[in-house]
Amino acid sequence: MENLGRVTPATTSVLEALLSADAVWGLQIVKDVGKKPGTVYPILDRLEAAGWIQGEWDTSLDRKGPRRRYYRMLAEARPLAQDYVNTHRAKDRTTSTRPSPATFEGQWQGA
């Protein structure tokens, strides 16, 4: 299993979607994270190449429509993926609770 390097918010969202299910198909991940397929599928490819997830084509002949590719998080990657998700959430909380520079703008003019 390889290190992912820089992890973007979109990657974190994909990791979160993968952690929330045993196996999920690519288009469902696209819908869950609210990103375009051109963003999600390269992330899935990178995660698979790094050995974090395993993709498998659906072999069912009962379902109509295009074949689905199901992805599942590998057991050894789950703790690392959860760490990335937790770290990203912590950064979001810090960023959202930090006052913006505009909040202090009026205070400095009167001093």
pTM attached to this predicted model:
0.78
Task: Tell me the sheet residues that pair with 71.
Answer: 24, 55
Name the residue ranges covered by the structural domains of the chain.
Answer: 9-86
pLDDT digits (tens, 9 = 90+) for 4-63: 888 899 999 999 999 999 999 999 999 999 999 999 999 999 999 999 999 999 888 888
pLDDT of residue 104: 46
Q: What is the pLDDT of residue 7?
A: 87
- Fold topology of 9-86: Arc Repressor Mutant, subunit A (1.10.10)
C-alpha 102/C-alpha 111 separation (Å) is: 16
Lowest mean pLDDT among 9-13, 86-90, 104-108: 104-108
What number is the average pLDDT over the span 73-77? 96
